[in-house]
Every structure is written in structure tokens, then in C-alpha cells.
A and B are shown apart, each in its own frame.
Chain A
Amino acid sequence: MTTGHNSTLADVLERCRPVPPASPNILKTLLAVQSALGHIPMSGILQIAQVLGVTDAQVAGVLSYYSDLRTQPTGRHLIRACMGESCMANHSARVLRAIQDYLCPAAGDASQAERFTVDTMSCAGNCAMSPTVMIDEHLCGRVTPSDVPSLLEAQVLRRKTEGGRPKAED
């Protein structure tokens, strides 16, 4: 773990330190850490537990329950295909394959892994517009495999031109 990274974790945790009589909020703290660092580093679990005054098991319980909480770093863009019942019935598996095909033409391209992480999710609550794809915070409904290239280009490119994220290479 780098020093800079560590101090960020310490800063976030300082803001989450429970002030009696308030009880510690593990979920809120984990979300705050993830939002600051992009993920929750495994090496930080004991530190998180100590600041909150809980045990590492309690932190692990919350962390393992919510699939939105990640212990591994993700790419700069998180693209998730919904695999809920409604999306599944509307062929979201094909959409997922289209995303993977589009984003991973050359296997082992490290720069791609830094840019994109492709994952599934259980239900985005967007069943009326199945199948659903979430690109970062953006919800996209009625996605067909053939929509995928333009959708990804539009989402990622548009935000680049708008300067939505301060990453020049996007």
C-alpha cells in the first residue's frame, strides 16, 4: 500500500469515526471508503474495524453481503449488465456478450483493464425497460446487442467531450 493511499484511507476513516453516543455505521463507512478510493482495500479491513470500534468479522460480514462493495480496484468505467429475471428473459446474456466482445478485442491488453470493468448485477429495478445496462451511474434500458457499440461510444465519448471525468485519455 502506498503512503498516499494510506493517508486517504485514514482521512476517510477519521470522518467516519463514531462520536458517542452514535453507534458505528459499517455500511456508510465502507461506501465512503469505496467512493474515495474506488474500492475497499483488503489491507484496510483491520484499520476500518479499529476506527469504528467493531471487529473485522463484522466488517467482513457487511462487505461480503453487498455485491456493490468491491475489494478489488475496478477500471475507470464500470459497465454492468443486469441479470435479474426480467432482463434475463429479455436476453441480457446476449447483451453482456456483446459488451465483452466490443471492449475486449485484444485479450491481455492491460490498458483496457484499467479503463473498463465489465460485471453483472442482480436487479437494477428497471424491469419495465429490460434488458438494462448500467454504465457507471447511468441507467440504460431496452438495450439490444446491436446497440452496444454506439451506446458505449456515446456514454464514454460524450462524457469525455463534456469533461465529465478528469481523465484525459478517455
Chain B
Amino acid sequence: MSKNSQRNVPSHLVPQASGPPSAMTVTINSHRITADPGDTIYQAAKKAGIVIPSLCASDHLNPFGSCRLCLCEIEGQSGTPATCTTPVREGLVVQTDTKRLQRLRRNIVELYLSEQPAAGPVPEALQRLAVSSGVHAVRYQNPARRQAYCDDSNPFFVFDNAACVSCARCVRACDEIQGTFALTMFGRGFEARPAAGSSQLSAVSDQPSARGFASSNCVSCGACVKECPTGALTEKTVLEEGVPTETVRTTCAYCGVGCAFDAGVRDGRLVQMLPADDGPSNQGHACMKGRFGWTYNDAPDRLRVPLLRRGKDWEEISWESALDRVAQEFTRIKDEDGPDALATISSSRGTNEENYLFAKFMRCVIGTNHIDNCARVCHSATVTGMMETLGASAATNSIEDVDYAKLILVVGANPTESHPVVGARIKQAHRRGVPLIVIDPRRTELARLADLHLQLRPGTNVALLNAMGHVLVKERLLDQAFIAARAEGIEDWITSVSDCTPEAAEAITGVPAHLIAQAARRYATSGASLCCHGLGVTEHRWGSHGVIALCNLALATGNIGRPGTGINPLRGQNNVQGASDMGCLPTYFAGYQSLDDPKLAALHQAITGRPLPTKRGMKTPDMWDAAIAGRLKGLWIIGYDVAQTDPNLKKVHEALKQVEFLVVQDLFLNETAKFAHLVLPGASFLEKDGTFTNLERRIQRIRKAVEPPNGILPDWRVVCDVSQRMDYPMPYRHPSEIMDEIATLAPMFAGVSYERLDQPAGLQWPVPAATHEGTALMHRETFPKGKAHFVGVEYLPPGEAASRDYPFVLTTGRILQHYNCGSQTRRTDILELVDTDVLEMHRTDMAALRLCDGEIVRLVSARGQALLPVVASERVLPGHLFTSFHFPASTVNELLSSSADESSKCPEYKVSAVRVEPIERDELDPEDEAELQRMRVRLIA
């Protein structure tokens, strides 16, 4: 496909056999230029810096040829073809600016202008074209003018038909980039115009949700807005506040994809977030959250001053006294109860530098390894599982490998909602014909599209993956050469899968045996199978076993260490990879270095002047136990709302109440802050410098775009200032100096510096030297421990099963529109689209319980209960329920147990036994009643 040829493919990813395609020489307007085969004349000219006028051509879209402005004359050929649809040929001689072409172009621009409504301004793009092509007036007396039609039903952008030229770039962006097909060209001839959904067919409705974009399946990714050449589609923030006057390149702070954005600023305020074309992981694409979900930054309830608890009230105090207070309390507890009475939970949302500093603070100032981050509750099982088998715990390949895979296996992940830019890329690959296999209890968007959907019962991943292994062994589909050269322990694995027949797995998983066998065969024989997995693998009682079972399959089939293959965990948060990389783990120092390594100890002492504590620290769940037992006295939690998002909330709340001194640092007064003794306001990612590490190990810069309100200190300054007060100065002037220190202490970051990170591509770790270009593909020649290890794992049932009292299995997860605890997305216009969590239930269960769409039900587990509106959903099987956890009012996490993965303590969010009870209207108090009135229930297609 031509789209591939447009990308700069790194040399290691170019297939060996084909060799570099030969370039050809083309003459455009007497300039001899070199063009790549597969380029169109328009693309070749653009690369050579020759500008040809155009409205409908885009680097991101296939050639279309609708605007007719990019016409040319080709020597030896009659007619005036469009350069954007004409491929280059060797020796082509092209003219793009002859008298004849100028005349034709002038006529076309005149036709465009003639369509403009008589009143109102002409779009800037057309004005520029009119000037450059010399159109002074429109000769047509009675032209067909564009229909006056405006669609402002989307919360984030407006479509104004008057400014449109019907080039269909928006429609093509929706189809080709996002793959949502929410737009179409409606009508034909002079009346043709883009429209969302099908509401145009019927009479215009007054109900905003029943028309235009709001009535369609649009996911508000903003691709159409970005592609629009005339501003017919424009962001509402830009219409209200004006176009940006400067831009700052930064990295999105939502999920782990790490999309590069240009933050558009005007008069010191953010007015636009535009995805960057040279962003290595997003290539100009974005999702609703990153593109439009940033207005929380100016939310009226942002914390602006430190707050000290006075009984039930808060007292506003100065930064000086707040920092003094933290230092005093931490010093007091350390002196009275020892370093082990203090702990920190760092933020997977914060920068690498901040995470490193918090870890350093705990290790050097307090003298303990009691530090954890919220990777604990998502991918800690991946860390454990991949460490045991491959010896490194991060995605083995890069996002762009999706383009090189010959088969994509998605296990327990819903990328089109949780990692939408990667999801869109997988859909693009699938439309090119790459087979897709999805293993998921839910019929997600990718599952609907997939060639094979193995819809297993929640918690039975290991049984299914082992059965795939059984098929590989039985049908001799193992990559013997790879196994012999690169891995050990195959016997152990073969023994462990010998009894795991697909038939046995069918009984456990509910997936037909022939589908399991077919999936195994296709995974083994595609030539390059890429696996990505999500929290559907890890957040189980035996989550790390699930990860190990996946790694075993990749090793057995040689699907690792090559382009288009690998084991790729889709990390959930912008810097959850980095927070763990930086040593915010109770078990590892920065760069996953062992805490008892004597060489590291010496280096640590030399550089920091303090010894490295060797005793393993507490994991987050251990901290709750310690707090309840009275052993943990002081806790500092940064940018992590444990009181809403951790499982078994009653226990977490109990633990937080027991802590003597709880400091919470956040953008908002979140649920956890309500337990705090001291609350420190945080600076958002738009207000500070630093780096994030995305799910493909890519370290990327974030840059300060706007000033934090009220002189709020960035988190790294807070740590430095507290540390200073505790007699350990941290005299950093800029985060770059912190990164320099990380580079000296962790070999895998040795070559990382802010100077090198200034390039748009960032750096993918490991970067062992300043001359090393970074690692897009891991394990090419060897594994970190030399050889990889097969580890046989046995299927064990989840912590809880459906029973007579609790007949349903509940799974929790994310939806596209909101993000985790929702403290950011709930403070944006996304709330217009989704303003409540809902419970998804199969139609037959709804009928059996006599429930209707939108009815409020009570979910009851052995731990607690929650009220949620229920909707019929085709995405879950009978007996299975799904809900998100983005709204604190739902208290979904009260239902969950403390059951967690044995080795990593990753909680079992994906399996809880519950029952569903209808509620009587009179059980609701007036406040609930009012909330129900306001609630619009999202209905699932």
C-alpha cells in the first residue's frame, strides 16, 4: 500500500529479501528530482519542496483526486491529469504551472468561490487560493450556492457547510485513519456534502442528540477536523478563543500510547491540542481524550493552595508551611518508629524525573524501599511473567510493528477504547487483510471484526493458552531452530501442556475446541505473529501465569525478536512504564536493577552519598495491611486516587483512616484526598517539563505550555524542597539534571539526555551509550539472561466463581470516553457524551430478571454493593456483566475482593461473583432521585 511507502521505515524493519526499491528520476517544472516508486507526482514534488496547489490531498490518506487543483501537463501525453492520483514513472517530464493550467485552475477556484453563500466570510484557504490564482470576481450570475447547514451537535467541534468544499477528506479520514465510518458524502452534485450518521435522511430534529455527529457512531477522535482544509470543521475552543499563536510540542498524558501533540497556546491559555504528524507512536492521529479532554486544566475546582486538615474543615496554608509540615511529620515518624513506618505511592501519571526523585527520597532520605506505583494494579503481573520468561518486562516490539505483522493476536485487551490510536492502527492493518484473532470474554469492537474471536469465560486464559500450546506440540508446529538456539526449559513446558487438550479447554473456557486449534495453527504459521495483551490477562488471580503462558507460545513459535512479532503489553497510563523503570517499585532499583547488587550499592553510595537499602519494601496491598495493623504511620500518595480505584475499597478506606499522617498530592480534591491530613496541589503535564515513557519503551519529552495556576510547584520541586528540609539537599535546577543522574545510575538509560530527546522520535530504551540509537526491537540476538526460559504453568480457577447466591461474574474495565478514576475526563465536555458508569448485561439475563434498559439495579457481592443503571449489551455473554469504574458515585470497587495474583499482587479486577437486585423507587433518597433525572444512560450498540 502506498501509505507504507510514505513512512520512513527503519532499516531493521525492511524485509531482507526485497532489498531497497530503486529510485527514479522525474523532471517537474525543469527541476530534476529523485522520486520513490509508488509515489504520486504530487508526493514526489512535495518531498522535493515543489508546491502544487491542492485541497483534497493529504499525506495520511489515499489518493482521491476530487479538488482538481493539482492538475499538470505531462510531456507526450494529452489532457491534464491530477498530480495527486498519477504515479511517477522513470523519466517523466511534468509541468504544473503553464498558462493553460493557470487558466484551468483559475476557473476551478472561481467555481469554488461561486458556491460560497452571498453573505458571510470566505474561508481563508479559498481566499489564499483566489489571490494566488488571480481570481478577482465571480462571473456566474446565478450560481448554485452551498446549503446553509451547521452541525454543532458534537461537544468538541462544529461543522459549517458554508465553508466546506466537499473534498471528502473528513469522510476519508474517518474511514482510512480511524476506521469508524461515521461520515459519508450525503447527496450528490451541487448538494453533496459531508454528514455524520443517517439523521440527514429524515426531517431535522430539535433534539441535539438525535442529529448530526451526536446521533452517529462518531468517536470524536478529531481526525476529520485535522484533515479539513478550509476550517469547515473547527474545534469549539478555537472558535471561542481564537487560533493558537504559538505551539509547544509535548506528549499526551492519558494512556500509554504516548501520542505527540502540539499544544496550541494563545494569550497564555491552551486553546488546541493538535496531534503531531511526526509523532512516532501516533503519526498525526489522536483520540477523544487527548484531543479534546484537556479542559480540566482550567477547571474551577483545581487545587490552587496547600490545604491542612482542621477537624472536618480545610485550612489554606502557604507552600512554606506545607513543606515544613511534611518534613516535620516525616522526620518525627522516622525518629519515633523507624524508616519502615513510612511509605510512598508514586504516580504513573507523573514524569520519569519526578518518579525517580520520589524513589530517591524514600531510599536516600527515609532509608526504605517502601515505594510502589499503580503499575501494581495493572501490569505488575506482566513484569513478573515477562521477567521470568524473557528477562525483561516491557513491550518487545514497537507500535509500528503492527504494520509489519502478518497476524495480530489481541488477548484480554480492548485497544479501540483503552488505547484508541493503537486500536485504529490495528483496524487499518486488518482492513489491509492482516488476520486478527481476539481472545476476550467480551465481544469488543476488534472481536466483532476479528477472523477468530475466542470468547472465553473470564479467568480461564491459562487453560486456553495452554491448549493452544498443546496443539502446537501435537501438530509439530514448534520452531525447533529458534527453540534450540534461543530458549531453554522446553521439556518442562511440553510436559505442562501435554494434558491440556482443546477438548479439555473447551469444558473450562467454553470456547469450541476447533477454534482453539485453528487459532494455534494460524498463530504458529503466519510468518510473523504479533501479540498484544492488556489487563484482561494480568488482573486475575493467576495473572502472571497468563503472561507466562503467552510468552511460552511466542517462544515456541519463534514469534519474538523479529519485526512484526513479540509480546506487547498495552500499558494503561502515560508513564506507568516509566514509573516502574525509575525504580518506584519495592523490589527493584531504577532500570530493574537488583537491590542487593554490590556494584550498584557502591555506585549508589558514590553518586547519592547514601547507602541503597537492600531490604525489599512493601507492595501497595501490603501497605494497607501494615496501616491497619498500625505499622505504617506516614504515607505520601502522589497523583493516584487509591480510595476510588483500588479493589476492596472498604479495606483501603479503613487503612487510610489509620495512617497518622497522610499527604496527598493531586490536581483535584479526589476521593483519597478526603482522608488526607495535608493536601498539596499538583502541576499538570501542560505546566511542567519532563519525560514520559510510553508502552513501546519510548522516552519522550513533555514541555511546559502554560503557567501553573497560582504558582503551584511541579512535583519534582516539592520533593527537592522537602528533602532539603530533611537535611538532604537536592539542588536540581531543571529536570534535565535529574535525567543526567538517572543515566549515570541505570545502564539501560546510560545514553539518554535531554539534548538527544529533543528529536521528535525520542529514544526507546535500552539506550546503553550516548552513541546508541535506542532499541526499537528487543531480543534480536540474545535475551538479557542469554536464553529465554519456558515456564510450565498450570490452569487454576479464579479466586471466585459464580454461585447460587452470587450467580453473575462481573468484570470491570475502561470505556473510550473516560479515563480511570475520571478526575480529569469528568471535568471536560466529555461529560456531555457519557455521564455515568453503566452495567452491561446480556439480553436474556435482562429478560429473566425483568429489567429494562436504563433501570437502576443493585449489584451485591460478598464485600459490598453498588447502584448502577443496567443496559442490554451484545458485548457480554449470558451470566457475565461488565461495568466501568470512572465515576466515584458508582463505588464499583467496593464489590471487589482483595484477591490478587500470587507473585505480583496484581488485583483480580476481572472476576468477581455478584448478584443483581432490582431496587424499589422508594428506596432512593431525593438526592439519588435527582441524580437519576440528570443521568443519560449510554446505550451500547
Contact = CB atoms under 8 A, between A and B. Distances in A.
A61 B185 CA distance: 6
B200 interface: yes
Nearest to A54: B181
A9 B186 CA distance: 24
> Which interface residue of A42, A61, A71 has the most chain B CB atoms within 10 A?
A61
Contacts of B201: 42, 45, 60, 63-64, 71
A17 to B, nearest CB: 15
A64 B196 contact: no
A55 B182 contact: yes
B216 interface: yes
Nearest to B182: A57
A59 B200 CA distance: 12
A29 to B, nearest CB: 14
B681 to A, nearest CB: 44
A28 B832 CA distance: 38
A28 to B, nearest CB: 18
Nearest to A53: B448
> DSSP majority for the A interface?
helix
A65 B197 contact: no
Interface string B157-186: 000000000000000000000001111111
A63 B202 CA distance: 12
B187 interface: yes
A31 to B, nearest CB: 17
Given A45-B198, A60-B197, A65 B182 contact: no
A46 B201 CA distance: 12
A142 to B, nearest CB: 28
B500 to A, nearest CB: 30
Contact of A64 (B180, B200, B217): B200
A57 B188 contact: no
A57 B202 contact: no
Contact of B183 (A54, A57, A71): A57
B263 interface: no
A54 B180 CA distance: 10
Contacts of A64: 184, 186-188, 200-201
B202 A56 contact: no
Contacts of A45: 198, 201
B144 to A, nearest CB: 15
Nearest to A67: B188
Interface string A58-77: 11110111000001000000
Given A61-B185, A61-B186, A65-B188, A56 B200 contact: no
B195 interface: yes
B216 A57 contact: yes
Contacts of A60: 184, 186, 195, 197-198, 200-201
Contact of B196 (A49, A57, A65, A71): A57
B96 to A, nearest CB: 32
A59 B185 CA distance: 11
> Which interface residue of A54, A63, A64, A71 has the most chain B CB atoms within 10 A?
A64
Nearest to A66: B188
B515 to A, nearest CB: 15
A61 B182 CA distance: 11
A42 B205 CA distance: 14
Nearest to B187: A64
A56 B184 CA distance: 9
Nearest to B203: A42
Given A64-B186, A65-B187, A42 B202 contact: yes
A56 B188 contact: no
B195 A58 contact: no
A85 B197 CA distance: 34
Contacts of B188: 64-65
Contacts of B198: 45-46, 49, 56-57, 59-60
B106 to A, nearest CB: 26
> Which interface residue of B184, B195, B217 has the most chain A CB atoms within 10 A?
B184
Given A60-B197, A60-B200, A64-B201, A55 B181 contact: yes
Contacts of B216: 55-57
Contact of B184 (A42, A46, A57, A71): A57
A63 B182 CA distance: 15
Contacts of B184: 57-58, 60-61, 64
A46 B199 CA distance: 11
Contacts of A55: 180-182, 197, 216-217
B151 to A, nearest CB: 13
> Which interface residue of B188, B201, B217 has the most chain A CB atoms within 10 A?
B201
A5 to B, nearest CB: 17
Interface in A94-112: none
A71 B198 CA distance: 12
Interface in A3-56: 42, 45-46, 49, 54-56
> Which interface residue of A55, A57, A61 has the most chain B CB atoms within 10 A?
A57
Contacts of A46: 198
Interface string B184-225: 111110000001111011100000000000001100000000
Contacts of B197: 55-57, 60
A105 to B, nearest CB: 30
A56 B183 CA distance: 9
Nearest to B186: A64
A41 to B, nearest CB: 11
A58 B187 contact: no
A71 B188 CA distance: 16
Nearest to A20: B451
B561 to A, nearest CB: 33
A54 B179 CA distance: 11
Contacts of B180: 55
B186 A58 contact: no
Nearest to B217: A55
B181 A58 contact: yes
A65 B168 CA distance: 14
Nearest to A63: B201
Contacts of A59: 198
A46 B197 CA distance: 10
> Which interface residue of A54, A58, A60 has the most chain B CB atoms within 10 A?
A60
Nearest to A57: B184
Contacts of B183: 57
Nearest to A61: B184
B638 to A, nearest CB: 43
A38 B311 CA distance: 74
A69 to B, nearest CB: 11
A57 B197 CA distance: 4
A63 B199 CA distance: 12
Contacts of A71: 201
A50 to B, nearest CB: 8
Contacts of A57: 181-184, 195-198, 216-217
28 contacts: A42-B202, A45-B198, A45-B201, A54-B181, A55-B180, A55-B181, A55-B197, A56-B197, A56-B198, A56-B217, A57-B184, A57-B196, A57-B197, A58-B181, A60-B186, A60-B195, A60-B197, A60-B200, A60-B201, A61-B185, A64-B184, A64-B186, A64-B187, A64-B200, A64-B201, A65-B187, A65-B188, A71-B201
Interface of A: 42, 45-46, 49, 54-61, 63-65, 71
Interface of B: 180-188, 195-198, 200-202, 216-217
Shortest 10 CB-CB distances between A and B: which pairs?
A61-B184, A60-B198, A56-B198, A57-B184, A55-B181, A64-B187, A45-B198, A64-B186, A65-B188, A42-B202
Given A46-B198, A57-B195, A61-B184, 11 more contacts: A42-B202, A55-B197, A55-B217, A56-B216, A58-B184, A60-B184, A60-B186, A61-B185, A64-B187, A65-B187, A71-B201
